[in-house]
Structure 1
Amino acid sequence: MLAQEHHLPVVRTARYYQVGEISASTRRLWVVAHGYGQLAAYFIRHFAPLAATAPDLVVLAPEGLSRFYLQGTNGRIGATWMTREDRLTEINDYVAYLNQLVEVVLPQAAPDVAVTVLGFSQGAATVCRWLTQARFRPVQLVLWAGAFPPDMDFDVATHFLQDLPVTLICGTEDEFITEEDLEQQRHLFRHVGVEPTILRFAGKHTLNAAVLAELNEAQLASRH
């Protein structure tokens, strides 16, 4: 007799990190999603200098629901948003998780709070899938060293990307993204009616403090 696959929804505790104190004075909220094998506690450190100099900014870094040892059975630990195993269920789980997180946090901020969503590496595809089912609209989408998932429904993608500023960021020496990959992303966005802004920096598959500061300053300027 063949085994039958079933699914059972269960209660689970998710972890996220935050820099900045959220209050009615919070006019900008960044939700940043880490890459494969990273932990939110370390990922969010890149954004701490931004919040330290901008009292109206709060940064949230949710962590993927699955953790694992990066090598063998001990040592450093990382997290992942999903794998190819039971992928649709994992996608549904993290979409529900991210929606719940934002629904808890947004009411604590200013009514006109501007939400920027940034995904790094695996986190880029994660936030794109999430935003197609999110119950709010961000003011900006930043995909850093990652890709818009090619398996997305283009009708759905066109709807949620309409009039949404998109920025693609990638190091000039990124080990996983070639110039051709970046150009394919540009064409994909153009196909759904979006002309993305592309930022490059001298570096590899990592975040960059100067570019983060540039994003922050550009957003500040647009709010005034």
Structure 2
Amino acid sequence: MNSQEKEITYTTSNSYSTLNQLTPQTKRVWLVCHGMGYLSRYFLRYFKGLNAEENYIIAPQAPSKFYLQPKRHVGANWLTKDETAAGMANILNYFDAVLKAEKLPKYFPLIVLGYSQGVSVAMRYLAQRQLQCDQLVLHSGGIPKELKASDFNYLSEATKVKLIYGTEDQYLNKARIEEETSRARELFGSRVSLFPFKGKHVVNVNYIEKLV
């Protein structure tokens, strides 16, 4: 058996979702990355409590869709451990296209939020594209091991980094919480603020609404 794995490049398309309208009254833009098993249009429900006139939310859509059992709802996945670098390269180009399509004003206040698997995608995008943001929110997800403090030297000293997690998260234990906290401080130093809450692996809407 003489099998080979080959690679091609081709053009594809993907959707993304937005909430509210970008107007002169908008005070901040959010770039929010959902977790595994979500779709961007449903992830936006967690941001509906924000002031609609002041907040414009952009939710990219993970490219790989699959059925969630047992009801066969559709969810999506950003990356796996197989060909992670190639998958992330595609996601970088996709995010670039989303932001280009949105034609955001320069120097607009920006909050970047990643939830669960979306944390790794958001952080890699910032590191690769050196996107400035006012807040980086890491909610219940793991920090990619390859990232270094120097990858984020470009960020303004005023950028706030917030680590949110549930103390009863089924994917975390005490050692993992300590590890992720240590990694966040290693990358961002004193800019990191911790926001634990009593709860499982869920999106904390109350904390999201307090970010502004």
TM-score, scaled to structure 1: 0.85
Structure 2 residue aligned with 1:168: 163
Contact 1:18 1:58 in 2 (8 A): yes
Letter paired with 1:143: L
Residue 199 (structure 1) aligned with residue 199 (structure 2):
no
Contact 1:26 1:113 in 2 (8 A): no
**How many residues of Structure 1 are paired with residues of Structure 2 in the alignment?**
210
- Pick from 144, 153, 175 the counterpart of residue 159 of structure 1: 153
Give, in angstroms, the shift of residue 85 of structure 1.
2.0
Structure 2 residue aligned with 1:220: none
Structure 2 residue aligned with 1:87: 84
Letter paired with 1:56: E
Cα distance change on mapping 1:70 and 1:54 into 2, 3 Å: closer
Residue 71 (structure 1) aligned with residue 69 (structure 2):
yes
5+ residue gaps, structure 1, are 217-224
Q: Deviations over 1:47-94 (max 9, x none)?
A: 0121xx24121011111011011237x711110001122221111111
Give, in angstroms, the shift of residue 148 of structure 1.
1.2
SS in 2 for 1:85: coil
- Pick from 90, 98, 102 the counterpart of residue 101 of structure 1: 98
- Pick from 43, 57, 60 the counterpart of residue 59 of structure 1: 57
Aligned-partner Cα distance in 1 for 2:130–2:16: 19
Give, in angstroms, the shift of residue 171 of structure 1.
1.1
Letter paired with 2:95: L
SS in 1 for 2:22: coil
Cα RMSD for the two superposed structures: 2.0
Aligned-partner Cα distance in 2 for 1:131–1:26: 23
Contact 1:27 1:112 in 2 (8 A): no
| 1:9-158 alignment, distance < 5 Å | 9-50=9-50, 53-71=51-69, 75-105=72-102, 107=103, 109-134=104-129, 136-152=131-147, 154=148, 156-158=150-152
Cα distance change on mapping 1:112 and 1:157 into 2, 3 Å: closer
Contact 2:161 2:188 in 1 (8 A): no
- Pick from 192, 198, 205 the counterpart of residue 209 of structure 1: 205
Give, in angstroms, the shift of residue 27 of structure 1.
3.0
- Of stretches 26-35 and 5-14 in structure 1, the one that deviates more from structure 2 is 5-14
5+ residue gaps, structure 2, are none
Give, in angstroms, the shift of residue 39 of structure 1.
1.1
SS in 2 for 1:42: helix
Cα distance change on mapping 1:137 and 1:33 into 2, 3 Å: same
Aligned-partner Cα distance in 2 for 1:145–1:193: 17
Q: Percent identity?
A: 29
Aligned-partner Cα distance in 2 for 1:68–1:208: 25
Give, in angstroms, the shift of residue 162 of structure 1.
6.2
Letter paired with 2:21: E
Q: Deviations over 1:121-175 (max 9, x none)?
A: 00001111111122531111100000211122x2543424563321000012111
Aligned-partner Cα distance in 1 for 2:188–2:73: 42
Aligned-partner Cα distance in 2 for 1:192–1:40: 28
